């Protein structure tokens, strides 16, 4: 068995709890999905031994002090914390430890406002980075040498990864698992965590969720799930109405009432979402992406991307392609 990948997560007073436990759970589930192997060893490191009180009032227990971490760090995860005014907390002791530890780390990833700590440690100079949308302007103002992009869920720049607000820590950790062990394992972990779709870094912090809250009618929910699994099928209003055993007019009215969208708009959004994932996670040709996502032709793919994302499929892939 290979030596486990050592993940060290920094913890300190008032750290955001989910920033710590979210990535830890992703790595733990990855271990379970690896058929008994232990690819990840997750350790919590703090300024001193013992308990650390998080922002939620829940206490976590450190495995190591900062001084005990040493030079065996494959992945360093740096969560964040804010004070009572929502200002990111910058602890000079923590910043100094990050500066020292990152020299030995295979990669470093910040979660949420942890990006402010990486910036204070000089790790983001000249790099593109993201953080929680509420502190992005502050990060840009405090560190003009950082190219701050407040939109993506996470950004990779060499061995430095930065993640967006709070729950995006799960998406960031899944991306790290994908880099280490491939997309298949990452998707298995996402399924176990009931993360319906593993969001890629290119998705916006503010993207409108395609999969909305459950509809009042269960049959419409079931139809939406069926649409997702059959994007290359005939998904015209007429075909879907026939599947639902309703008149086209009545079906269209019910669908819009339950989803807030026309059938055509909903189907196109679902197909574009599928195309985005293929462009981000595969090297499939545009012809294949168009066919698999149900958009049919490259011309239709281009029109849909222009209309919904304001860019071309090729430009989208260049910006958001993740490592295979």
Q: Is residue 26 domain-shared with residue 175, that is, in the same domain?
A: yes
Q: Is residue 197, in this structure, part of any structural domain at all? A: no
Q: Is residue 155 domain-shared with residue 250, that is, in the same domain?
A: no
Residue with tokens 């890629």: 200
Helix intervals (H) in 66-200? 92-101, 114-120, 136-142, 168-181, 183-192
Q: In what order do the strands lie in the sheet with 160-163?
A: 64-65, 40-46, 5-10, 73-78, 105-110, 160-163, 154-157
Q: What is the pLDDT along the chain (324 residues), one digit of tens a residue?
A: 578 899 999 999 999 999 999 999 999 999 999 876 768 999 999 998 899 999 999 999 999 999 999 989 999 999 999 998 999 999 999 999 999 999 999 999 999 999 999 999 999 999 999 999 889 999 999 999 999 988 788 899 999 999 987 778 888 999 999 889 887 888 788 878 876 444 544 444 433 333 444 557 788 888 988 998 899 999 999 999 999 999 999 999 999 998 888 999 999 999 998 998 898 888 899 999 999 999 999 999 999 998 888 889 998 888 767 544
Q: Is residue 300 domain-shared with residue 153, that is, in the same domain?
A: no
For the question of residue 169 being annotated catalytic, the response is: no
Q: Is residue 25 domain-shared with residue 156, that is, in the same domain?
A: yes
Q: Is residue 47 domain-shared with residue 130, that is, in the same domain?
A: yes
Q: Which two tokens stand for residue 250?
A: 């009545």
Q: Is residue 318 domain-shared with residue 232, that is, in the same domain?
A: yes
Q: What is the CATH number of the domain that holds 68?
A: 3.40.50.880
Q: Say how far apart CA 139 and CA 123 lie, in whole Å.
A: 13
Q: Is residue 159 domain-shared with residue 252, that is, in the same domain?
A: no
CA angle (45, 48, 51) in 5-degree steps: 80
Strands 5-10 and 40-46: parallel
Catalytic pick among 42, 112, 174, 235: 112
Q: Residue 102: which of 114, 113, 112 has the closest Cα?
A: 114
Last residue in a domain, options 167, 192, 217 = 192
Q: Is residue 148 domain-shared with residue 23, that is, in the same domain?
A: yes
Q: Is residue 268 domain-shared with residue 184, that is, in the same domain?
A: no
User: How far separated are the first and last CA of the chain, in Å rounded?
Assistant: 24
Q: How far lies 112's CA from each of 81, 139, 153, 187, in Å?
A: 9, 12, 10, 22
Q: Is residue 202, in this structure, part of any structural domain at all? A: no
For 165-205, the pLDDT digits (tens) are 777 888 899 999 988 988 788 878 887 887 644 454 444 44
* Residue 217 · residue 258 · CB < 8 Å: yes
Last residue in a domain, options 163, 192, 221 = 192
Residue 60 belongs to what domain range?
A: 5-192
Q: Is residue 131 domain-shared with residue 263, that is, in the same domain?
A: no
* Residue 27 · residue 42 · CB < 8 Å: yes
Sign of CA pseudo-dihedral 223, 280, 182, 75: negative
Q: What is the CATH number of the domain that holds 298?
A: 1.10.10.60
Instruction: Provide the pLDDT for residue 288.
Output: 95
Residues in CB range of 269: below 8 A, 6 or more apart: 210, 261, 308
As for how many domains the chain has, the answer is 2
Q: Is residue 235 domain-shared with residue 136, that is, in the same domain?
A: no
Q: Is residue 212 domain-shared with residue 176, that is, in the same domain?
A: no
Q: Say how far apart CA 63 and CA 8 lie, in whole Å.
A: 10
Last residue in a domain, options 192, 218, 248 = 192
């Amino acid at each position: 068995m290979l030596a486990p990948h050592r993940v060290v997560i920094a913890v300190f007073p008032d750290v955001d709890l989910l920033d710590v436990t979210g990535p830890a759970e992703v790595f733990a589930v990855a271990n379970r999905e690896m058929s008994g192997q232990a690819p990840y060893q997750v350790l919590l490191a703090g300024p001193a031994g013992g308990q650390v009180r998080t922002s939620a009032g829940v206490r976590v227990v450190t495995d190591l002090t900062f001084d005990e971490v040493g030079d065996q760090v494959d992945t360093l995860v740096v969560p964040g914390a804010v004070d009572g005014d929502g200002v990111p907390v910058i602890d000079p002791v923590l910043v100094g430890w990050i500066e020292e530890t990152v020299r030995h780390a295979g990669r470093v990833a910040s979660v949420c406002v942890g990006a402010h700590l990486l910036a204070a440690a000089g790790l983001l100079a000249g790099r593109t980075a993201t953080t929680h949308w509420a502190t992005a302007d502050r990060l840009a103002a405090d560190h003009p040498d950082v190219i701050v992009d407040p939109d993506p869920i996470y950004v990779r720049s060499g061995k430095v990864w930065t993640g967006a607000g709070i729950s995006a820590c799960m998406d960031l950790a899944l991306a790290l698992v994908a880099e280490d062990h491939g997309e298949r394992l990452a998707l298995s972990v996402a399924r176990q965590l009931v993360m319906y779709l593993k969001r890629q870094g290119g998705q916006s912090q503010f993207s409108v969720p395609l999969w909305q809250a459950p509809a009042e009618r269960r049959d419409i929910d079931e139809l939406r799930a069926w649409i997702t699994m059959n994007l290359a099928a005939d998904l015209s209003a007429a075909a879907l109405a026939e599947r639902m055993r309703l008149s086209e007019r009545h079906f269209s009215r019910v669908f819009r009432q339950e989803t807030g969208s026309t059938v055509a708009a909903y189907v196109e959004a679902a197909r574009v979402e599928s195309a985005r994932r293929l462009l981000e996670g595969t090297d499939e040709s545009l012809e294949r992406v168009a066919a698999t996502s149900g958009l049919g032709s490259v011309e239709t793919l281009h029109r849909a991307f222009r209309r919904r994302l304001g860019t071309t499929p090729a430009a989208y892939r260049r910006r958001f392609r993740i490592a295979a």
